[in-house]
Amino acid sequence: MTLNTAESLVRPVFPFTAIIGQEEMKLALILNVIDPTIGGVMIMGDRGTGKSTTIRAIADLLPEIEVIVDDSFNSHPSNIELMSEESKQAFEDDIELSTKQIKVPMVDLPLGATEDRVCGTIDIEKALKDGVKTFEPGLLAKANRGILYVDEVNLLDDHLVDLLLDSAASGWNTVEREGISIRHPARFVLVGSGNPEEGELRPQLLDRFGMHAEIRTVKDPILRVQIVEQRSQFDHSSQKLINSYTVQQEELKERIIQAQDRLSSVEISYDLKVKISQVCSELNVDGLRGDIVTNRAAIAFAAYQRKKDVTIEDIEKVITLCLRHRLRKDPLESIDSGEKVLKVFKNIFI
């Protein structure tokens, strides 16, 4: 009789480095992991193109994080901005806090989720009767310092999408009931995916996602066979496939860690910043979010490429991902494929 250990019960995850094609989606995910302030990524594409597999694979690839034991918010042991109120108070009172290492949280948000399930709830009765704030954490609390994945985000209620985007942008979630307010950190990479055939997001909501990756079904028969065979191998003997990609996984993990460390020292020249804003202006991009995200993504890509300074090539690699979804003015108009963005980019930069 085989005993089930905790390790053997964990569902195996397809290795990120084994995923064939879909380079645009993979790059967008890597850059958001390097710099979460990019603002997440919206992945739109055909059914059965590996969206969910790739997102779970990037979460599994990331190095473990240190959290405070028995804390519902994955609080950081020393960074006050990433602590719950209780842990922050204990830290300021010099109370020694036990810590442990956990895998980066990967939280799935179901389509039928309610606002209470997402944001958490306050026990009003206990608060009024005993004068104690009792908070039942929601999915935003569980996703702190991790990845929050919303499949079919285009079918999610707009009100909930607004809540998610607000938390992702501010890094905090505030719940208010009957004059009682509770606030906790909610720093996460927001990843949304969907099929354009089932409807688009409103332009106002699309603009709030840092990047927009388009994926298509692979057309090359040789590659299709390769993908099918690889998937069959994983289904038949997952551990064997995972073991065969151990070296590549570790190399990519180390490269991401180094890019995160290098991020603050990468420089982008004033001249390149002006040209990025010139592209945004010529494309008639509303607001300044496009300018900000393109700058951040170019810096993250340069860090990933082990550079100290951003080059024109770095900007060219990310600018379509950052701007293609910000061009629409009419909700019924389809998203530009990126050709318009690249055309304007080349006119200004080259």
CATH number at residue 187: 3.40.50.300
- Looking at 167, 197, 223, which one is the last position of a domain? 223
- Looking at 192, 223, 254, which one is the last position of a domain? 223
Residue 289 annotated in active site? yes
Residue type, 139: L
Residues 155 and 37 in one domain: yes
Residue 187's domain spans which residues? Answer: 13-62+103-223
CA distance 2 to 196: 46
List the CATH number of the domain containing 342: 1.10.8.80
Residues 208 and 287 in one domain: no
Token pair, residue 212, equals 């927009």
Residues 23 and 109 in one domain: yes
Residue % of the chain over a pLDDT of 90: 37
Residue 172 domain flag: yes
Residue 179 domain flag: yes
* Angle (CA) 162 164 168, round 5°: 115
Q: Which residue(s) pair with 107 in the sheet?
A: 148
* Long-range contacts formed by 262-266: CB under 8 A, 24+ apart: 262/303, 262/306, 263/34, 263/35, 263/299, 263/300, 263/303, 265/308, 266/299, 266/302, 266/303, 266/307, 266/308, 266/309, 266/310
pLDDT at 133 exceeding the cut of 60: yes
Instruction: Name the range with the highest mean pLDDT among 9-18, 83-92, 272-281.
Output: 272-281
The confidence score (pLDDT) of residue 3 equals: 43
* Long-range contacts formed by 111-118: CB under 8 A, 24+ apart: 111/151, 111/152, 111/155, 111/156, 113/139, 113/160, 115/159, 115/160, 115/163, 118/160, 118/163, 118/164
Residues 21 and 156 in one domain: yes
CA distance 332 to 350: 33
CA distance 315 to 276: 8
The confidence score (pLDDT) of residue 91 equals: 86
Residue 97 domain flag: no
Count of domains observed in the chain: 2
Angle between helices 270-282 and 339-349 (to 10 degrees): 140
| CA dist 44 → 60, 211, 341 (Å) | 22, 11, 18
Residues 268 and 205 in one domain: no
Which of 346, 306, 339 lies closest to 323, judged by CA?
339
The confidence score (pLDDT) of residue 122 equals: 80
Residue % of the chain over a pLDDT of 70: 91
Least confident of 38-42, 56-60, 126-130, 310-314: 126-130
Residue type, 278: Q
Q: How confident is the model at residue 121 (pLDDT cuts 50, 70, 90)?
A: confident
**167-221 pLDDT, tens digit each:** 888 888 888 877 777 888 898 999 988 887 777 777 777 888 899 998 888 888 8
pLDDT, mean over the chain? 86
pLDDT at 124 exceeding the cut of 60: yes
Residue 72 domain flag: no
pLDDT at 266 exceeding the cut of 90: yes
The secondary structure of residue 17, as a DSSP letter, is G
Residue 164 domain flag: yes
pTM tops 0.85, yes or no: yes
Residues 45 and 162 in one domain: yes
Strands 120-122 and 135-137 turn out to be antiparallel
SS3 99: strand
Residues 169 and 270 in one domain: no
- Looking at 223, 254, 283, which one is the last position of a domain? 223
Residue 240 domain flag: no
Q: How confident is the model at residue 265 (pLDDT cuts 50, 70, 90)?
A: very high
The confidence score (pLDDT) of residue 2 equals: 41
Residues 53 and 194 in one domain: yes
Residue 132 domain flag: yes
pLDDT at 126 exceeding the cut of 70: no
CA distance 301 to 181: 39
The confidence score (pLDDT) of residue 7 equals: 43
The confidence score (pLDDT) of residue 333 equals: 56
Q: In the predicted model, what is the mean pLDDT of residues 240-244?
A: 91
Residues 178 and 268 in one domain: no
Residue 144 domain flag: yes
The confidence score (pLDDT) of residue 4 equals: 45
Residues 47 and 107 in one domain: yes
**303-347 pLDDT, tens digit each:** 999 999 999 999 999 999 999 988 866 555 555 667 889 999 999
Residues 273 and 218 in one domain: no
Active-site annotation holder among 289, 296, 324, 326: 289
Residues 159 and 30 in one domain: yes
